[in-house]
Structure 1
Amino acid sequence: MKYEDKIIENNLPPANLIGVAIEASSFMLEKTTIKVKTNKSSFNSIQLRGLNLVIHKDQNYIVEPLNINPDNLEQIIVVNNTDLNPGINTIRIIDNELKQWSERQIYISPISKKNYDVIKNNQQENNIKLAAFSNLTNNMVSISVLPVETKSIDDNNSIIAGLTINPYIKTSLLNSNYYLNDVNRLKYYELDLALLNQESLKYDWEYMKLQPPTANYSFDIGINLKGTIANPLKSKSFHKVKLVSSKEFITASADVTENGTFEFQNLLLTDSTYVNLSLHKQPNFEYVDAKLALQVVNRKKLYNKVFTGLIEKNCNSENDTIKIVNFDLPHFKEKTIQLKEVVSKNKKKQLTYGNILSNRMLRGHKIDLTNNSSSILNFIEGNGFKVERTIGKIKIYSRLPGVLQLPTPIVYIDDRQLYFDYYELEFLKMDDLDEIYINSLALVPSINNNLGIIRIYTKKQQNTYSKKPHPNSFFVKDAFSKSSTFQNLEYENASSNGFNNFGTISWFTKTISDSNGNFTFDILDYNKKNCKIIIEGMNTDGQIFHEEKVVQLK
């Protein structure tokens, strides 16, 4: 084979006289065509054993018996890609005695197309506001904003390859973004060639027959909550238990067994989270008053490979290290002394967040001993809003006389907007709050009939272990760590090669788009003409995406 100015030679493996061949074409984007063929010598050896086409990924599989006969030694099977699993799928030809005759891997694209357009919206002093538009609603995304010349990423950085390809092959796919960014039929064909050229597959069939894979670390994909119903109940299996976590945007239901038990599996809950449970009767999902008990059943797990620190014998000596490039690195303001603000003592309590632009048109309240006895919902109700309380749901409306359909406000907790429900407010105690900014008549640019803004700021150190707000609320301890916001460092010079190579303009670890698929975010103005934006995440259908865009800033 000739490649550029090189000629690569290698011996082809010897052909087997007895065997089964697989041809597969999965890069048509909608259907996968699989051709299975053999020869007459092979047919005489396998006709009594029977052959099956097996397509599998993880615990999901398709088994299709093959019908090969002496007059027709090949068979074509067409499978809709929607019936296969996104990512790497393994095709195997297995006979009825579980002997494998052939194998290969194909890739089914999980990529969600036509996601985001990003533009500069406006600029206020040193902050640039960017707006992202999409036709996909309620996406959870991570946004990295970097200099255009950045060397901190390469073609191997991709959430798509990291989740759908690399776990299923022996060595990580090189230059994965070449295949997965700006996808087309030719790129998928080249990815198929890359998969075909693996020396061997990661998971060996003969070994799996002897040692079937087992799930030993279920906590890694979510915690499991198992519970019982304390009340005597007829026809238990005709009931379901509903779980709501407003903090995590999770709503789930579980069947009740005849023993009165139920279980929720693989929940991604952060530490110190309340979940609310309720019992409902089928088929109309009628609420049933009952006492429910709950426990976490898979939380305490030991790690398979615990990190114990660097082992010196496994590290190369300094003489063995080859320095390829001496990159310029960014310099930080490490020796800069930050002066504290001068605070003038006054009888009037100073508001911490009062100077934020979005709070200036709202009435600020410092929460102290004089106003922390009531609940947050009573406080909201006493400041121009109407609050409706039902089991498992809280509704808030702005009071307007003579209006049939009352508008709803925009509610934030620590700058995190509540999108789907206000039930999380039921769990907040006034002594956990620092400040509240509120205005029932604040105008909100929206097509969702919004009117009014409520901004709630919690105290930095809060004890959430204290009280349970509802008898069927369960407090989840020792779960996944909370998401923390990225705090950028200060750079000495944002015009240096070091900043352009490895500097970070901003990083938003977790952003959720609104019901229209849009969101905005602010970045600091580093006096750049443009920037590189990387958007990664998952939509509500489970499709993951990775997009890289250059956005004009001037």
Structure 2
Amino acid sequence: MKFNSYKPNLFCLFLLLSSFCTYSQEISDQEDSEITKHISSYFSLDRENIHIQFPKKIFFTNEKIFFKGFVYNIKTGIPSVMTTNIYATLYNEQGEKVTEKLFYSSNGSFTSDFDLNNSFSTGKYYIHFFTNWMKNFKEDESSINSIQIINKDDKSYSKEIIPDFSSVSIKFNPEGGTLLENQKNIVGIKISDCNGNPFQISEGDLIDDKNIVLQKIHLNNFGFGKFEFVPNKKIYKVRFLINGTSYEEMLPIASAEGFALDANSFSVKDKTLLKIRTNLKTIEKYRNNSLKIVINQFDKIALLDLNFINDQEEQTILFENENISDGINTIRIIDSNLNVLAERMIFKHQKEKLEVDLQATKKASDSISFSGNLNLKYSDISISILPEESLSIDNENDIYGSFLLNSFLLEKSKNSRYYFNEITTKKKYELDLLLLNQSKFKYDWKDIITSAPKETFEFDNGLTLKGTVNQKISDPKKAQIIVTSPTSANFGNIDEKNEFFFNNLILTDSTKVNITFINERSKSVEFKDYPQVLNSRRTFNKSIRFKNSLCEIQKQKVEIDFPQFKLKTIMLDSVKIVGATKPTLNYETRFGNSRLRGFKIAENEGSAMLLQFIRMNGFTTENENTSLRILSDRNFGTFRTGKSSPAIYMDDIPVAILDVLQQITMREVDEIYLDTNMRSSAFPDNIGVIKIYMKKGARNSSYKNNITTYPIPKGFSAIKPFKNVSYNSTSDLGFKNFGLINWIPNIIANENGHFAFQIPNMNQKKVKILIEGFSADGKLISEIKTIELE
């Protein structure tokens, strides 16, 4: 956006007939402007939004709710990498909490699932996603997503009655906010039921106080329309025939002063057209008042002086769209007392976006291969494959609507996919109707000038573990705490309160961490502690509104075919063939062990010492100042000399003090795994790995006695691979209605934009493929493609 470098000749490009371009002076110095300071302050912090793609919108209780989440910085227009912790809560139709989870986001995206079971009743459910950072703002930047769950044992399906003819709402929205007397006005109109669903009516009448029809009013399929007229002090109303009943609604009384702000960004190619209308009474009122036209999207701002030379009541301004941001921009007229006199939102479509070329390349009896190309490399996308006739595909919401449209609106659009799929001039006009008919703005001007948000809540990056050493320490600065898990090792200090904190821990549900206290004399000391994770669950600080609580959703039962699922099969025990076999390694399948050399220690091998065995297998041991060191024979690298210490574990616990190994005999060891060249993920700077597993009932070492084990009860939800349910048939109507062919949540296009994937061959002639995602620089994609497979 080029607002900060605007000059009058960039902004005021054309003079139109009967219009004045009044910006002959230099644009006000934005750095010294009171308006600019307020806007810049209010939008100084980044804003995160979340879009969720589900493989489908209707789930059965024997399935999992899989999904892919995209976290976006809507202020900068790129993926948000500042937050890793995504908090989510599943609610039922009554708004009651069912379960909550924590998800891990990396590079702006995350994948996971919610488990279902037969205790879920059929109905609509809501999943609320938020980050801790979102709590800094008055506005609700969180994401609420609705899905339908059907209990697989139900025999009927209840469908929402849309629209509800028992309630009719007719709302007017004069463009700019004021219906101005004796001036040409554009008035937006929205007609819907109490849940915001439109009626299928195409036109109605504008009627004056003598019941004379002045003009026809046309509505689109979403219940939006607009009409143009010049009101006076008369009473005006509109009349519509809805489902055989006539409905009337009075217009607001026209105001004697004010501004009508007519704006659109689509009628002239690549330009925005502003028409500002007022009257002499208003001009006289503001003759000595410095009026500004303010255009902004967050802290990207343009300011222009608004003057009425020769008392001209209408002015027209045309400017290039390259000077405003992609997505929604807000235009306001502001007086010298910082009062907003008119305001309007406009939309600018992206010129460049992600596009995909996708085709089936190979068909086998059990699978079908696809090849795809994106116009930008390293894009992160997810793909859902459904039967062509699917009733479960999400035809309403998409990633464009989430990040470019609904993130700016209080009244969310239920049809965002329509506006961004195969964009035409008609769709641009209809999107402008949606913005015209926003009765309230999400980013309210009064808030902008009075209550800038403060950075009270931080970006969450991993878990924070807090604990207390409950014994006296003569010199806490010399003591140390070691927290280890199967995948990480963390070393920290103890403060003057005997407390310790470990931040940025990435731990999944039920992971056990081991805490070792090293006292000021460098000895492992037993201690008891009950640490706590401070941020595994957080409460959102705003009320969550799932639906209009004053208007119940009407439903009716309908007959519809459901998929036929296969019953769970019972696997018989395999037949064991008795013969000479090598000793079974019980720990071979533990994390990372399959890549190491494993040894089962027999009873007759127990006379040697553990360190002797370690030396015999490629490591050396040294005693330095009476402390044991174990070294790998492998050098650090070409430019360094010397040997590296291996990562050493005992029963999957990283060993911090090696002295405890000196008295262990092989009699006490059950299995041992080692490699002189391998690197451990917990100790990336170490070369070599030694993993020791002790026999049950073996002598406990002082090392193990001095470790506190603490399970993480509410860590990050583990990422599970997608596994589809089994269907009795993939050719019946139930599967075509609600079945899922495949879900591939994590696809990264390579440096050439290429990607490939496979789906199971379920004998479909055509499939629908939903593709969503973003590139590293923030370009978005959302496409539904129908692909022929025969």
TM-score (norm 2): 0.42
Which of 573, 596, 600 pairs up with 1:368? 596
Counterpart for residue 416 of structure 1: none
Following TM superposition, by how much is the alpha carbon of 1:86 offset from its aligned partner in structure 2, in angstroms?
2.5
Query: Equivalent residue of 2:597, what SS?
Result: coil
Counterpart for residue 136 of structure 2: none
Following TM superposition, by how much is the alpha carbon of 1:33 offset from its aligned partner in structure 2, in angstroms?
2.6
Deviation larger for 103-112 or 134-143: 103-112
Deviation larger for 67-76 or 170-179: 67-76
Distance 1:170 1:513, change over 3 A: same
Counterpart for residue 148 of structure 2: none
Q: State whether structure 2 residue 789 is matched by structure 1 residue 549.
A: no
- How many angstroms apart in 1 are the aligned matches of 2:639 and 2:298? 41
Give the share of equivalent positions with the same residue, in percent: 32
Larger RCO (CA within 8 A; separation ≥ 6): 1
Partner deviation per Cα, 1:29-52 (whole Å, 9 max, x = no partner): 633232333222211111222111
Counterpart for residue 440 of structure 2: 200
Partner deviation per Cα, 1:227-248 (whole Å, 9 max, x = no partner): xxxxxxxxxxxxxxxxxxxxxx
Counterpart for residue 562 of structure 2: 329
Q: Which of 1 and 2 has greater Rg? A: 2
Aligned AA for 1:330? Answer: P
Counterpart for residue 62 of structure 1: 302
Which of 391, 397, 416 pairs up with 1:151? 391
Q: State whether structure 2 residue 282 is matched by structure 1 residue 42.
A: yes
Which of 5, 11, 20 pairs up with 2:259? 20
Q: State whether structure 2 residue 325 is matched by structure 1 residue 109.
A: no
- How many angstroms apart in 2 are the aligned matches of 1:120 and 1:430? 49
Aligned AA for 2:276? Answer: V
CA contact (8 A) 1:272 1:464 kept: no
- How many angstroms apart in 2 are the aligned matches of 1:161 and 1:518? 26
Partner deviation per Cα, 1:323-382 (whole Å, 9 max, x = no partner): 2534332232243335577787996999xxxxxxxxxxxxxx9623269999xxxxxxxx
- How many angstroms apart in 1 are the aligned matches of 2:309 and 2:462? 50
Count of residues paired in the alignment:
382
Counterpart for residue 145 of structure 2: none
- How many angstroms apart in 1 are the aligned matches of 2:320 and 2:370? 39
Aligned AA for 1:466? Answer: A
- How many angstroms apart in 2 are the aligned matches of 1:512 and 1:521? 11
- How many angstroms apart in 1 are the aligned matches of 2:432 and 2:370? 38
Unmatched runs of 5 consecutive residues or more in structure 2: 1-202, 205-217, 220-239, 464-503, 509-533, 585-592, 600-613, 619-636, 641-645, 650-678, 687-711
Query: Equivalent residue of 2:428, what SS?
Result: helix
Q: State whether structure 2 residue 702 is matched by structure 1 residue 466.
A: no
Distance 1:501 1:338, change over 3 A: farther
Distance 1:114 1:511, change over 3 A: closer
Alignment of 1:319-358 (within 5 A): 322-338=555-571
CA contact (8 A) 1:532 1:551 kept: yes
CA contact (8 A) 1:53 1:92 kept: yes
CA contact (8 A) 2:283 2:311 kept: no
- How many angstroms apart in 1 are the aligned matches of 2:542 and 2:451? 23
Q: State whether structure 2 residue 370 is matched by structure 1 residue 130.
A: yes
Distance 1:67 1:305, change over 3 A: same
- How many angstroms apart in 1 are the aligned matches of 2:759 and 2:573? 24
Counterpart for residue 430 of structure 2: 190
- How many angstroms apart in 2 are the aligned matches of 1:349 and 1:542? 55
Distance 1:146 1:33, change over 3 A: same
Distance 1:540 1:466, change over 3 A: closer
Partner deviation per Cα, 1:189-218 (whole Å, 9 max, x = no partner): 111012112233334323443433455555
Distance 1:176 1:122, change over 3 A: same
Distance 1:501 1:219, change over 3 A: farther
Following TM superposition, by how much is the alpha carbon of 1:165 offset from its aligned partner in structure 2, in angstroms?
1.6
Following TM superposition, by how much is the alpha carbon of 1:120 offset from its aligned partner in structure 2, in angstroms?
0.8
- How many angstroms apart in 2 are the aligned matches of 1:154 and 1:200? 27
RMSD (CA atoms): 4.5
- How many angstroms apart in 2 are the aligned matches of 1:517 and 1:304? 38
Counterpart for residue 738 of structure 2: 502
Unmatched runs of 5 consecutive residues or more in structure 1: 225-268, 274-297, 351-364, 375-387, 392-427, 432-462, 471-476
Following TM superposition, by how much is the alpha carbon of 1:480 offset from its aligned partner in structure 2, in angstroms?
7.2
Counterpart for residue 516 of structure 1: 752
Alignment of 1:416-427 (within 5 A): none
Following TM superposition, by how much is the alpha carbon of 1:130 offset from its aligned partner in structure 2, in angstroms?
0.9
Following TM superposition, by how much is the alpha carbon of 1:166 offset from its aligned partner in structure 2, in angstroms?
1.7
- How many angstroms apart in 2 are the aligned matches of 1:79 and 1:129? 48
- How many angstroms apart in 1 are the aligned matches of 2:567 and 2:648? 39
- How many angstroms apart in 2 are the aligned matches of 1:147 and 1:111? 32
Distance 1:136 1:95, change over 3 A: same
